[in-house]
Amino acid sequence: MADPDPKAELADVFRAYFRRGFRLAVTGDRQSTVDYLVHCGPAMGAFNQSVAGTSLQPWRARTVEAVADHLMDGAAAHVTARMRALRPAQKI
């Protein structure tokens, strides 16, 4: 029998790890909360950058309400800036 491909073996280990962690998170297994795995993409990195140096930098401070407030404040500031840029200059 030929030697197994080490890269394929490692890929199998990672697939099993990700499947298990995601399954634990979805089922809410309370005995394994430390092993939960929640997939995220670039948005998580962008959020981490936006809260750097704020009270939300520590992840334990990130309640649903605090994150929602941060996102809504940012959205309001963005919309306000865009509206000001679109408004024609007023003559005095």
Domain that holds residue 60: 40-92
Same domain, 84 and 49: yes
pLDDT in tens, 63-73: 999 999 999 99
Same domain, 59 and 47: yes
Whether this model's pTM surpasses 0.75: no
pLDDT in tens, 18-47: 999 999 999 998 999 999 998 888 988 999
Same domain, 35 and 4: yes
Same domain, 58 and 70: yes
Same domain, 33 and 47: no
Domains in the chain, number: 2
Q: State mean pLDDT over 6-10.
A: 94
Rounded to 5°, the CA angle 32-37-42 comes to: 160
Placement of tokens 């490692």 in the chain? 10
Compute the half-sphere exposure of residue 6: CA atoms within 13 Å on the CB side of its CA: 0
CB of 37 closer than 8 Å to CB of 18: yes
